[in-house]
Chain A
Amino acid sequence: MELTGAEITVRCLADEGVEYLFGYPGGAVLHIYDELFKQDRVKHILVRHEQAAVHAADGYARACQKPGVVLVTSGPGATNAVTGIATAYMDSIPMVILTGQVPTHAIGQDAFQEVDSIGITRPCVKHNFLVKDVHDLAATIKKAFYIATTGRPGPVVVDIPKDITMARCEYSYPTSVSLRSYNPVVKGHSGQIRKALNLLLEAKRPMIYAGGGVVLGEAAAELTQLVRSLGFPCTNTLMGLGGFPASDPQYMGMLGMHGTYEANMAMQHCDVLLAVGARFDDRVIGNPKHFFQEDRRIIHIDVDPSSISKRVKVDVPIVGDVKDVLSEMSRQIAAGTQKPDAAALKSWWTQIELWRARDCLKYDRTSAIIKPQMVIEKLWEVTGGDAIVTSDVGQHQMWAAQFYRFDKPRRWLNSGGLGTMGVGLPYAMGALLAHPDAAVACVTGEASIQMCIQELSTCKQYRMPVKILNLNNRYMGMVRQWQEFFHGNRYAESYMDALPDFVKLAESYGHVGIRIEKPADIEPAIREAFARKNELVFMDFITDQTENVFPMVPGGKGLSEMILV
């Protein structure tokens, strides 16, 4: 039987096993919406802004590994989605975004709600497709899912002109795809793995640095096993939190611009560095010139060859799936006779303990004004360290990363690469759909939360009991911090004037709002919020306006040049 393009689109999603479709309707996609209406295999989540549709689908993907799927209309629907797509792209999140397009005969005529979606999204997608014939539709959607989820994952856009959704053809969903131009490498080169192990086992001051690739590659267990069997220190990047358990004594805390003193010092002074699914980002190693050490050897495992030797020259590159490579390394260590140099390790750990004793995350616990760090610590206590925590971008994000100790992967969702304010609430929505029984907390700031505040309405409609912790310092705190440190205390446009009453705002959307002004009230408020299992609770914490995030590696400096408290 022949189906219309719209029917085919929806059937493809269902046959692909898509559970949720995040979207917003409009002219170019009305036939697809019509088909969604007639079925119940794919559930549609209606957001209040297309940017949030992409963020929510992205959050869903981060929380459960399955690709996030989005449907938006042409023109403004597509352009509103771009920030979300770029955010997912920078963090390598598997997503398929279907954008409506004006009919093929109208393309290029400046038709109503026409934009060149393929052109606009090209630099921020893994790949994109314009469907020009209904006969190609199913195969294209299959390819999109395949490309999005394999190799280094990423968002794929499929642009579907309206006439294609009306045209008919036979439908069958391809069971497999093969693309001659796209064959991601899985297995690491065995010779390179052996070389890496030789270096690691001879190391005097080894360090393991693991990034988001460990989380995306489902390799946390393999990493943990390897790190423990070697007895080496391990640090996670902002994107890699939970990739190695924070409660493990070998964990050094996060590294980077706001990383711990011990992690940054160990990165700088190690003699063998094993980088796993990480990309030596500027926020992570600072200035590569300062990071460079003549006698340090670097091993880098990554599924994307272009991540290797991009910012830092690597001695032993291993291209492959991190899960595969790490388990092969563990296997070879277990099978071999050589063990790490115990005496050297002992003195390396003595040095590390000295750095640790610097207690770089200390803050004033006796303050009469709420310290933001304490809110995160209490959140960790109340949720037993087992919540899914999303954040926006700013100081609150860094405090959440530093003070919520993640033991498992996919519990920490944030925009690391693009640093997109506004992701926190939609990420929490996606996480709740992926794990309906999980405790989901959104740590945000009064500036960031206003970038997608309209989603409180979506949360009401779909009964999403997100717990929002708004660290309200009346400033774009991170901007204010930079202005304090580097711009002579000139707080240009970083004061958040005319703030809404967040309690009333939450209530007007039908949620619960609580304002917390005293340190003693932090814990009871968080307890109450989580006790209200089925309700969204907006906690507005009035925090110390002057608090800064420490340690801090100023832009352009080396990792050991930290500003400390």
Chain B
Amino acid sequence: MRHIISLLLENESGALSRVAGLFSARGYNIESLTVAPTEDETLSRMTIVTSGSDDVIEQITKQLNKLVDVVKVVDLSEGEHIERELMLVKVRASGKDREEMKRMADIFRGRIIDVTDKSYTIELTGTGQKLDAFLDALEEGAVLEAVRTGASGIGRGDRILRV
């Protein structure tokens, strides 16, 4: 099953490689991993999307908790949560495709943030599924380049992850 795990970790060099190293050393999957400092500059917030059986996920959270740099671990998928991913995608936009591409961006609530006479760069935010759906909806060969951030997640309602 797919899980989205959030962690707070010390904002220290090496903390990221401890987490990444743990996943590779123990053979756990990483679908995506995002990390950035938080409003408290001594802490980083990381979101990991992984998959595995319940036993594997239990081990992943225990092993993450064991890392000395990790302050808190939450499996967001255990409760209501929101996840978002940002994609920047450069698409072919010449001739008759140009109008069509603009319409597609509008339908998916994307924003065109850069324009040349042959291409658009579209910014799109949503769940991973929505981004997939957008890419699927485009004509074959329309995508020139796509950059995705991987998912970030947060609990719904009053669930808060902080120290």
Contact = CB atoms under 8 A, between A and B. Distances in A.
B68 A181 contact: yes
B69 to A, nearest CB: 6
Interface stretch (A204-212, A301-309, A495-503): A301-309
B95 interface: no
Contact of B68 (A123, A182, A305): A182
A122 interface: yes
B96 interface: no
Contacts of B70: 181
B: contact size bracket: 20 to 34
Contact of A147 (B9, B21, B58, B68): B68
A180 B71 CA distance: 7
B65 interface: yes
Interface string B24-36: 0100000000000
Given A181-B9, A306-B62, A309-B58, A126 B17 contact: no
Q: Give the most central of A122, A304, A306, A313: most B CB within 10 Å.
A: A306
A66 interface: no
B75 interface: no
15 contacts: A122-B14, A122-B18, A122-B21, A127-B69, A130-B13, A130-B14, A147-B68, A181-B9, A181-B71, A305-B62, A305-B66, A306-B59, A306-B63, A309-B58, A310-B59
A158 to B, nearest CB: 13
B10 A181 contact: yes
A214 B91 CA distance: 63
A119 B17 CA distance: 9
A309 B55 contact: yes
Contact of A122 (B17, B55, B71, B163): B17
A126 B69 CA distance: 11
Contacts of B68: 126-127, 147, 179, 181-182
Contacts of A310: 59
Interface in B1-43: 9-10, 13-14, 17-18, 21, 25
Interface of A: 118-119, 122-123, 126-127, 130, 147, 179-182, 304-306, 309-310, 313
Nearest to A122: B21
A450 B21 CA distance: 34
Contacts of A309: 55, 58
Given A180-B71, A180-B163, A181-B10, A306 B66 contact: yes
A306 B9 CA distance: 19
Contacts of B55: 309, 313
Contacts of A179: 68
Contacts of B163: 180
Contacts of A118: 14
Interface string B69-97: 11100000000000000000000000000
Contact of A304 (B9, B17, B66): B66
Contacts of A126: 68
A339 B58 CA distance: 35
Given A127-B69, A309-B58, 10 more contacts: A126-B68, A181-B9, A181-B10, A181-B69, A181-B71, A182-B68, A305-B65, A305-B66, A306-B66, A313-B55
Contacts, number: 37
Nearest to B66: A306
Q: Give the most central of A123, A127, A181, A309: most B CB within 10 Å.
A: A181
A268 to B, nearest CB: 22
A118 B68 CA distance: 14
A219 B88 CA distance: 58
Nearest to A147: B68
Q: Give the most central of B9, B17, B55, B68: most A CB within 10 Å.
A: B68
Interface string B53-65: 0010011001101
B58 to A, nearest CB: 7
Contacts of B10: 181
A313 B14 CA distance: 33
Contacts of A181: 9-10, 68-71
Contacts of B65: 305-306
Given A147-B68, A181-B9, A181-B70, A123 B58 contact: no
Contacts of A122: 14, 17-18, 21
Nearest to A127: B68
Given A181-B10, A306-B62, A123 B21 contact: yes
A106 B161 CA distance: 39
Nearest to B63: A306
B25 to A, nearest CB: 5
B156 to A, nearest CB: 26
A179 B69 CA distance: 9
A123 B25 contact: yes
A313 B9 CA distance: 29
A127 B55 CA distance: 25
B99 to A, nearest CB: 51
Nearest to A304: B66
A127 B67 CA distance: 8
Contacts of A306: 59, 62-63, 65-66
Contacts of B71: 180-181
A307 B65 CA distance: 13
Nearest to B71: A181
Nearest to B24: A123
A309 B62 CA distance: 11
A315 B134 CA distance: 46
A196 B25 CA distance: 34
Q: Give the most central of A118, A182, A304: most B CB within 10 Å.
A: A182
Nearest to B42: A180
Contacts of A130: 13-14
A179 B14 CA distance: 17
A106 B36 CA distance: 28
Contacts of B21: 122-123
Contacts of A180: 71, 163
A306 B22 CA distance: 13
Contacts of B13: 130
A304 B58 CA distance: 13
A32 B21 CA distance: 32
Nearest to A313: B55
Interface string B86-117: 00000000000000000000000000000000
B33 to A, nearest CB: 17
Interface string B141-163: 00000000000000000000001
